[in-house]
């Protein structure tokens, strides 16, 4: 019996005395075709390992285990462990780890569970930690071949937005530094138990082994990006001046033109390449 079969999912949860918990962002997938599409997205190579965050009752875990060599799933909610033991515990290519994914030391964890294997991330992420967990994963992006996550559609649009568009923000530029992000497909609320209020989307991020821009001080660039979008309606010189005491607004304006940008440009118009160029001549 498949976990996407609602009567089976209800029966398993009832037998274990559990119900989906809002505080852990538990919206379990109930559509076989959606689960298959997500599980197919990380890689064509079946010889890889997959790190799943939040297996829930094991629905996506099962589909990943059908396709890939090894699956390690990190679940925070210990009340789901007996359920997972029943639904996927019998598979010898699945390991369940009871932990908070936000607290993992990723390089150590990947080395421990996937030594010498190529690894992809695949997850139906809990909404309450979408951005922090994506940031955490991308900062260790070199560990992974790709990162496939289902998230709120609006966040997916922000991660994949073009410079100058309304959705373009600090998180878009941050993502572009670590990966080539692509929105794959939308998933309607009717495909979950319980149904969320919003539409979801699956995105795939192909991580870079080397960043697409060569920047002297990546931390300084991230500071500039953050400051530029904190006051996105302001001209860039003013937005950056508000974030530092190290340089004056006039000096910043000079550096902006030196970087080949217009003096009255707004941060929201800058591409990753523009931020990199500016960061190499302006420390804030």
Which residues of the shown chain bind ligand SAM in the complex (CB under 6 A)? 24-29, 53-56, 59-60, 74-77, 100-102, 124, 126, 129
- The residue (of 36 and 222) whose beta carbon lies closer to ligand SAM is 36
User: Considering beta carbons, is residue 164 or 194 the nearer one to ligand SAM?
Assistant: 194
- Between residues 124 and 207, which has the closer beta carbon with respect to ligand SAM? 124
Are 4 and 29 a contacting pair, CB within 8 Å?
Answer: yes
Minimum separation from the CB atom of position 21 to ligand SAM (A)? 7
| CA dist 179 → 79, 142, 154, 167, 279 (Å) | 35, 10, 19, 18, 19
Minimum Å distance from CB 205 to ligand SAM? 18
Q: Pick from 145, 148, 141, 137: which is nearest to 118 by CA?
A: 145
- In the DSSP assignment, the letter for residue 235 is B
Nearest to ligand SAM of 62, 274 (CB atom): 62
Comparing every residue's Cβ against ligand SAM, the nearest one is 54
Bridge partners of 60? Answer: none
């Amino acid at each position: 019996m498949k976990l996407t079969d609602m009567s089976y999912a209800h029966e398993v949860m009832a037998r274990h005395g559990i119900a989906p918990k809002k505080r852990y962002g538990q919206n379990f997938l109930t559509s076989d075709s959606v689960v298959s599409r997500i599980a197919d997205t990380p890689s064509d190579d079946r010889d890889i390992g997959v790190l799943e965050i939040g297996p829930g009752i094991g629905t996506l875990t099962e589909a990943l285990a059908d396709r890939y060599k090894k699956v390690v799933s990190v679940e925070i909610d210990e009340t789901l462990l007996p359920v997972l033991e029943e639904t996927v515990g019998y598979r010898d290519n699945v390991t369940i780890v009871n932990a908070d994914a936000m607290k993992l030391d990723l390089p150590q964890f990947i080395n421990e569970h996937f030594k010498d294997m190529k690894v992809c991330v695949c997850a139906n992420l809990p909404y309450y930690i979408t951005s922090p967990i994506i940031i955490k994963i991308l900062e260790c992006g070199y560990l992974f071949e790709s990162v496939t996550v289902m998230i709120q559609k609006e966040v997916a649009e922000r991660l994949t937005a073009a410079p100058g568009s309304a959705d373009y923000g600090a998180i878009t530029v941050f993502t572009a530094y670590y990966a080539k992000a692509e929105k794959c497909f939308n998933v309607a609320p009717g495909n979950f138990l319980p149904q969320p209020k919003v539409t979801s989307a699956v995105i795939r991020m192909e991580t870079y082994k080397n960043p697409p821009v060569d920047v002297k001080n990546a931390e300084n660039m991230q500071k500039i990006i953050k400051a530029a979008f904190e006051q996105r309606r302001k001209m860039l010189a003013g937005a950056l001046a508000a974030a530092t005491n190290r340089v004056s607004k006039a000096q910043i304006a000079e550096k902006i033109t030196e970087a080949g940008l217009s003096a009255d440009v707004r941060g929201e118009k800058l591409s990753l390449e523009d931020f990199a160029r500016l960061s190499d001549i302006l420390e804030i």
